[in-house]
Amino acid sequence: MYAMKYMNKLKCVERNEVRNVFKELQIMQNLEHPFLVNFWYSFQDEEDMFMVVDLLLGGDLRYHLQQNVHFTESTVKHYVCEIALALHYLRNKRIIHRDIKPDNILLDEHAPELFQSFEGTRPGYSFAVDWWSLGITAYELLRGQRPYIMRANTPANEILQTFHKAHPCYTAAWSTGIKSLLPKLLCVDAQKRISSLSELQDLEYLSDVNWDAVLNKQIPPGFLPDRRRLNCDPTFELEEMILESKPLHKKKKRLARKTRESGSDGSPQVVKEYPQKAGELVIDEGIMFGYKRSISVFASKAVSWLITLCQIS
Q: Give the pLDDT of residue 292.
A: 31
* CB neighbour list of residue 92: distance below 8 Å, 6 or more residues apart: none
CATH number where 11 lies: 3.30.200.20
Reported as a single tens digit per residue, the pLDDT across 227-245 is 778 888 777 666 666 666 6
Domain that holds residue 255: 2-57+231-311
The domain tally of the chain equals 2
CA distances from 263 to 257, 267, 272 (A): 10, 11, 19
Which residue type is seen at 251? K
Res 161: pLDDT? 84
Q: Low-confidence residues of the chain, pLDDT below 50?
A: 117-121, 266, 268-313
pTM over 0.95? The answer is no
In a domain? residue 115: no
- Mark whether 21 and 65 lie in a shared domain: no
* Span 250-297, pLDDT tens digits: 777 887 887 777 765 545 444 333 333 333 344 443 333 333 333 333
Q: For residues 177 and 38, what is the distance between their CA atoms, to the nearest angstrom?
A: 33
**Would you say how long the chain is, in residues?**
313
Among 181, 215, 249, which residue terminates a domain? 215
In a domain, 153, yes or no: yes
Are 79 and 153 in a shared domain? yes
Q: How far is CA 16 from the centre of its chain?
A: 22
153 and 138 in a common domain:
yes
CATH number at residue 148: 1.10.510.10
128-143 and 176-185 are packed helices; what angle lies between their axes, rounded to 10 degrees? 140
Question: Are residue 275 and residue 200 in the same domain, yes or no?
Answer: no
What is the reported pLDDT for 5? Answer: 85
Mean pLDDT of the chain: 78
Q: Which of 263, 253, 185 is nearest to 47 (CA)?
A: 253
The Cα–Cα gap between 146 and 114 comes to 20
199-218 pLDDT, tens digit per residue, is: 999 999 999 999 999 999 99
pLDDT at residue 274 in the model: 34
Annotated catalytic residue 265: no
- State how far the Cα of 200 lies from the Cα of 82, in Å rounded to an integer: 12
Q: Is 52 helix (H, G, I), strand (E, B) or coil?
A: strand
pLDDT at 47: 87
pLDDT at residue number 277: 35
Residue 19 sits in the same domain as residue 132:
no
Residue 203 lies in a domain: yes
Catalytic residue among 99, 108, 212, 233: 99
Going by C-alpha positions, the residue among 72, 77, 231 that lies closest to residue 144 is 72
Distance CA 246, CA 123 (A): 35
Residue 106 dihedral angles phi and psi, to the nearest 5°: -100, 150
How high is the pLDDT of residue 113? 64
DSSP one-letter string for 61-78:
HHHHHHTT----HHHHHH
